[in-house]
């Protein structure tokens, strides 16, 4: 349909969304669609959208909404602590923990959603997520942002944890089968010996992100190498349902001993233990880091920078690496709702009703299509057979991070609820997942890589047939221990111990490793790690009981 039809449709959406209900200001003005600026605190690592961003201009024009973004800079815990201590909150808060809920910073949403936002209610109820959003007191304080799937899920791209390697390294080695930890590091080391510099800078075989909350990259790998799915800080025995932290298990000892040996040989990036997140991304963007453990969503900006500067061969492929050949990898899981993450409306919000009505309009299907695909006629169009497609120029734009910042809704995608899966016509909610578009955008480097390994996308490279998720999966999105509880204090203490000892375990002389490991384990026990395990076991038992319906 023509652009004028979209404008007409959006006008209808706005009228439908805002025509019912009232607020004092709206009643006074006689206009339920009166202008509002919504202030948002977000922990997303994004740039501020420019004033002329066309998507946000569209929001202002059609839904009378503008945004004021407070994007996290610096230490997350410090920022959150200051906000809670001052009680100075924006209208909307992106949450990534229970701190804001525990502090009473967010209003209950279930009644507001039921009354003012039928689209959001349907979004969560039809997907079976509604009850899972409820806190222990029965209230819903946030709207989860990712993982609420409708229809067929078309996502071909792997976005989670892996041991990553530059595609150029795999190509140079002739695309070998790499399964085990030792094979993985041999691959990196052999390439570094062959090419000691890249673009005039020293080659870094392996680096580690250790800064602030991102430090899970330092301590999470043993979990995956041992064949466990991502359960956060622990492992769950699928037969007994016993929860156990993996920080002190032998699987962690094996991993850190390997890093200790590699460090002694000069293959571990020593500055990894002092670099901040921006420095980590800059290092990856330089093209000289051969491998690391991370979740793709956390470093994708570096991948995009390599792509946009003509170094696509230096972008990364994820591999399902395990300790030994007989271990089945469990990296890839089926989609799950991003429980514990999303956005809530603060107790200081100027107009919660108006915000919720806006979100209801935003969740209309045709508006979600614009939010996900762009504007018809500018960012995509239908062909003569009524099939959507993009031109080569439009695809180039859509793959350019700077263009996305200037023209799309990256921050809103990170923070607010959204459609994922399929629209009612069966097309994927991301047009780049539509097979003809996916094939048209596939780069020669990836075609060669996928053909070499007998797969069609990066998801299949990790696992063609992922096992079903466990009933309770995952434990990482269970509620944090209550502030001041024994479990919370233990978690805090053990994190500090990990931050102190794990870098030492990597960088110490090999002769000191065994004694240092014993000292580390004893300190973790003294910190009360067993109290944290007991809390998580209780949460696990409750979830199994609740989600099984028994």
How far is C-alpha 260 from the chain's CA centre? 29
How far is C-alpha 61 from the chain's CA centre? 30
- pLDDT for 550: 62
Query: For residue 78, how many other CB atoms are within 10 A of its CB?
Result: 10
Burial 363-390 (b: 16+ CB within 10 A, else e): bbebbbbbbbbbbbeebbeeeeeeebbb
Phi, psi of 200, rounded to the nearest 5 degrees: 80, 0
Rounded CA-CA distance 435/441 in Å is: 10
Rounded CA-CA distance 391/381 in Å is: 9
Alpha-carbon distances of 168 from 289, 295, 301, rounded to whole Å: 11, 20, 19
Rounded CA-CA distance 226/243 in Å is: 15
β-sheet bridge partners, residue 134: 140
- pLDDT for 31: 65
- pLDDT for 15: 37
Residue 312 per-residue DSSP state:
G
Give just the sign of the alpha carbon dihedral 207, 211, 217, 219: positive
- pLDDT for 136: 87
Query: Exposed, middle or buried by CB within 10 Å (0-12, 13-18, 19+), for 186?
Result: middle
Rounded CA-CA distance 129/138 in Å is: 14
Class of domain 161-335+437-462: alpha beta
Query: What's the pLDDT tens digit per position in 296-313?
Result: 999 999 999 999 899 999
Quick one: which H or E segment has residue 291? strand 289-295
Helix axes 54-63 and 365-373, enclosed angle (nearest 10): 160
Structural domain 3-150+337-433, CATH architecture = 3-Layer(aba) Sandwich (3.40)
Rounded CA-CA distance 226/262 in Å is: 20
β-sheet bridge partners, residue 65: 36
Nearest to 352 by CA among 117, 131, 137, 85: 117
Helix axes 486-507 and 529-548, enclosed angle (nearest 10): 120
Question: Radius of gyration over alpha carbons of the chain, in Å?
Answer: 24
Alpha helices (runs of H) in 363-434, residue ranges in sequence order: 365-373, 392-398, 401-407, 410-415
Taking the chain (550 residues) in consecutive chunks of 10 residues, what is each chunk's mean pLDDT? 39 38 43 90 90 95 96 90 96 93 96 98 95 94 95 92 98 98 98 97 98 94 96 94 97 98 97 96 97 96 93 97 97 93 97 97 95 96 97 94 93 95 96 95 96 96 94 91 94 97 98 98 98 97 86
């Amino acid at each position: 349909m023509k652009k004028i039809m979209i404008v007409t449709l959006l006008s209808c959406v706005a009228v439908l969304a805002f025509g019912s209900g009232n607020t004092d200001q709206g009643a006074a003005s006689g206009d339920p669609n009166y202008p509002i600026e919504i202030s948002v605190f977000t922990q997303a690592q994004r740039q501020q959208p420019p004033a002329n961003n066309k998507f946000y201009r569209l929001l202002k024009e059609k839904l009378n909404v503008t945004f004021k973004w407070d994007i996290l800079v610096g230490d997350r815990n410090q920022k959150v602590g200051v906000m809670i201590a001052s009680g100075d909150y924006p209208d909307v808060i992106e949450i990534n923990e229970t701190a804001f809920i525990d502090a009473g910073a967010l209003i209950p949403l279930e009644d507001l959603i039921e009354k003012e936002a039928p689209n959001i209610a349907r979004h969560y109820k039809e997907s079976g997520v509604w009850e899972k959003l409820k806190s222990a007191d029965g209230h819903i304080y946030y709207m989860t942002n990712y993982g609420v799937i409708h229809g067929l899920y078309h996502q071909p791209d792997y976005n989670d944890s892996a041991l990553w390697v530059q595609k150029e390294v795999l190509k140079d080695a002739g695309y070998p089968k790499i399964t085990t930890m030792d094979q993985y590091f041999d691959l990196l080391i052999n390439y570094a010996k062959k090419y000691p510099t890249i673009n005039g800078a020293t080659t870094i075989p392996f680096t580690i992100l250790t800064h602030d909350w991102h430090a899970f990259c330092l301590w999470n790998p043993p979990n995956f190498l041992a064949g466990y799915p991502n359960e956060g800080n622990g492992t769950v025995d699928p037969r007994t349902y016993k929860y156990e932290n993996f920080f002190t298990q032998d699987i962690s000892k094996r991993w850190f001993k390997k890093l200790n040996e590699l460090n002694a040989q000069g293959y571990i990036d020593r500055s990894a233990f002092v670099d901040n997140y921006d420095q980590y991304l800059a290092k990856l963007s330089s093209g000289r880091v051969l491998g690391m453990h991370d979740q793709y969503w956390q470093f994708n900006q570096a991948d995009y920078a390599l792509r946009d500067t003509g170094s696509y061969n230096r972008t990364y492929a994820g591999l399902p690496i395990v300790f030994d050949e007989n271990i089945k990898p469990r990296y890839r899981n089926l989609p799950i709702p991003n429980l514990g993450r999303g956005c809530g409306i603060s107790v200081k919000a100027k107009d919660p009703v108006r915000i919720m009505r806006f979100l209801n309009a935003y969740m209309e299907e045709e508006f979600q299509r614009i939010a996900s695909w762009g504007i018809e006629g500018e960012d995509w169009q239908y062909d003569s057979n009524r099939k959507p497609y993009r031109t080569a120029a439009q695809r180039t734009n859509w793959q350019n991070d700077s263009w996305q910042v200037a023209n799309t809704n990256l921050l809103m995608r990170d923070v607010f609820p959204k459609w994922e899966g399929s629209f009612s016509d069966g097309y994927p909610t991301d047009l780049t997942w539509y097979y003809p578009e996916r094939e048209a955008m596939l780069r020669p480097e990836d075609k060669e890589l996928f053909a070499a390994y007998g797969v069609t996308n990066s998801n299949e490279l990790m696992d063609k047939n992922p096992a079903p998720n466990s009933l309770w999966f995952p434990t990482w999105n269970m509620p944090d221990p209550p502030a001041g509880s024994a479990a919370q204090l233990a978690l805090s203490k053990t994190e500090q111990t990990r931050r102190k000892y794990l870098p030492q375990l990597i960088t110490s002389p090999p002769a000191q490793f065994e004694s240092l490991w014993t000292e580390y384990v004893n300190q973790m026990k003294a910190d009360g790690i067993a109290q944290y395990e007991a809390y998580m076991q209780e949460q696990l038992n409750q979830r199994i009981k609740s989600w099984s319906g028994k």
